[in-house]
Structure 1
């Protein structure tokens, strides 16, 4: 590796690291200012707060790292251009493609790190982040939000809960429906359902079972009934929460199981899976765009480059969020939705790179 490669690569990695170290504390301060009253009111232990902000740092650093990377490349490349260093490098006979090589090496290192984080570290951080919010910041800490979770657990079996408590393993307003073809065979209702890990059973409170007959129905009631049921505890949890807390292997197995069950929420799981691959790839695309935009010395200086960079960054975020939501809520295929931003901005990167070479 030549001196010029080491020089640019060092600036690339150092500026990116400094950008993260600058913005993450700002995010923590804003988050503390929003949640401090609830933390004090709920007497949250200091250890829980420290663990929460450790998870917070990993979760949001991974979520926003392409933007931090993009702005850091814009920043230091603009400084190189304003100091006429890029002109000197290109005048020495080095091509623009050769000048771009240390940037690609830097993007590769950052992408690999992001890939490992997305596969192994971010799921645990996501679980800790959500656990803290539900346990300490929720208005009703015994309930994990009014999720109204509807799940199809097999071809002819459906369940519903209004909300779920992960700590006590208890769900509320439970309904189980068993169909035979298009006809309802029987329906079970319970005000609460609690998971028993010792024997892998469920306890149903205020249990009632209505068996549908040809002429009349049969109704069975118990104050409390313990029984085995053919669904997992994860089936009662919020959809996105489950997907975000699994590593790659667990998520793949979970998706296969949900496909066999005919789950209507499969697109949500696929969006989470595909994002694990698309976010690292965006590092290359945004790096090329950033270098192409900021490598020319402009009359307005770094301010113009930064303004242009911020506009592109927020447009990227806008497309990414809109199409991810479309995949979850409509018939848009998750793979197309997740990769749409990378494809569009990849084409933009090629155009800007050719223009910069000229």
Structure 2
């Protein structure tokens, strides 16, 4: 049963968080619109598509900024409570410090559920429309509209490479497929100017196709101007890691990771890391809440400004640790699970220590 105190703090928690979200997201939209309005006009993007794009943009941006905006909002309103000596009055009435934290944890639970649903189901779907609009209008006619230099190890013997990939049109350029025998020697190599996925026929169409075989020290070459064929890999194997992960929901990503593991893909750790990060974000809501309350519930001579400064410094260090361990997991054999757990564990301990200090 929520008391008047719980409702008061919980209301401030959620209203301040929502207010800061509604403040920062429109600013992000206005900055993006000011930067890209020329391209929207030049490429004659329909108004309906622009509106849908910025709806998707809001979801993607909101999901990206949600943890740090939650952190800042808690520091903001808790510092006001401290500066108005409201926290002192609450504790002087006989309420324990841990009881004072109860509405904060209720608020963190609500936000954690929102972050989970956003990250696992809503934002992946929004990312598809967001990226398609980007490639269609903002990067139209430029080489940068395609993600570049994509290499994928399908299994121990098969490798594919494209110099660039257009996710919207599902075309890879300068395609290469290499198959090695059990002695780790090149058995054959397929190359093409481009490879296109024909969804209605479930085939790949190769342009300027060439296949080179090595047989008894001799090189056999077969060439075709165009060839329709099938491969054991999927179009997602030609898609960059970041693009694949951000457009798949919870169940799709789990299935995709399992498929990559069966094929022995070399970059599966990157997908697993993206999966664990989605699960870690709701936990981060609690950790950031603990740290924010510990930093801002103490009345300081510098006031809210000093609390914000301390909070932002801690937040930057947290992001730094998260990036460092994430890079280690992507580029080395470091465990993705540990890469996600270690920063949260370290800052969870820091948060509990700061709470104990604030309590005293």
Whether TM exceeds 0.5 here: the answer is yes
Are 1:311 and 2:310 counterparts? no
Number of corresponding residues: 358
| Alpha-carbon distance in structure 2 between the residues aligned to 1:306 and 1:87 | 20
What's the counterpart of residue 138 of structure 2? 137
Could you tell me how far apart the structure 2 residues matched to 1:263 and 1:215 are? Answer: 30
1:146, distance to aligned residue in structure 2 (A): 4.4
Contact conserved, 1:134 with 1:141, CA < 8 A, in 2?
no
Q: 2:212 aligns with which of 207, 210, 213?
A: 210
Deviations 1:186-218 (A, max 9, x none): 111111112222221111111111110113111
Report what 2:197 is aligned to: 195
CA deviations on 1:200-238 (whole Å, 9 max, x unpaired) are 111111111111011311111111111111111111111
CA pair 243-314 structure 1, distance change in 2 beyond 3 A: same
Find the counterpart in structure 2 of residue 123 from structure 1: 124
1:239 aligns with 2:241: yes
1:267 aligns with 269
- The answer for the alignment partner of 1:149 in structure 2 is 150
Distance 2:235 2:303 in 1: 57
For 1:61-210, what aligned pairs fall within 5 Å after superposition?
A: 61-138=62-139, 140=141, 144-181=145-182, 182-210=184-212
- Deviation, 1:34, is 2.1
C-alpha distance in 1 between matches for 2:307 and 2:169? 52
Post-superposition CA distance 1:157-177 (Å, at most 9, x none)? 111111122333221111111
The residue that corresponds to 1:330 in the other structure is: 332
- Distance in 1 (CA, whole Å) between partners of 2:34 and 2:41 is 12
**1:36 matched residue in structure 2:** 37
Can you list the C-alpha shifts for 1:129-179, whole angstroms capped at 9, x where unaligned? 222222211153587424211112233111111112233322111111111
**CA separation in 2, counterparts of 1:333 and 1:127?**
28
C-alpha distance after superposition, 1:255-289 (max 9, x if no partner): 01101111111111011101111111111111111
> Does structure 1 residue 347 correspond to structure 2 residue 345?
no
- Which of 275, 278, 296 is residue 276 of structure 1 equivalent to? 278
Q: Distance in 2 between matches of 1:36 and 1:319?
A: 36
Q: TM-score of the superposition, structure 1-length normalised?
A: 0.96
Q: 1:222, 1:113 → 2: CA distance? A: 53
Question: Quick check: 1:49 aligned with 2:50?
Answer: yes
Runs of 4+ in 1 over 6 A off after TM superposition: none
**Inter-partner Cα distance in structure 1 for 2:322 and 2:304:** 27
CA distance in 1, matches of 2:323, 2:42: 34
Unmatched segments (≥5 aa) in structure 1 = none
Structure 1 counterpart SS, 2:168: coil
Q: CA deviation at 1:50?
A: 1.2
Q: Contact 2:161–2:175 at 8 Å: present in 1 too? A: yes
TM-score under structure 2 normalisation?
A: 0.96
Please state how far the C-alpha of 1:335 moved relative to its aligned partner: 1.4
Counterparts of 2:65 and 2:343, CA distance in 1 = 15
How far residue 115 of structure 1 moved from its aligned partner, in angstroms, is 0.5
Q: How far apart in 1 are the matches of 2:220 and 2:145?
A: 34
Counterpart-to-counterpart distance in 2, 1:125 and 1:142 = 24
CA distance in 2, matches of 1:215, 1:313: 60
- Stretches of structure 2 lacking an aligned partner (at least 5 in a row): none
Q: Determine if contact 2:177/2:190 at 8 Å carries over to the other structure.
A: yes
Corresponding residue number in structure 1 for 2:221: 219
Cα RMSD of the aligned pairs, angstroms, is 1.5
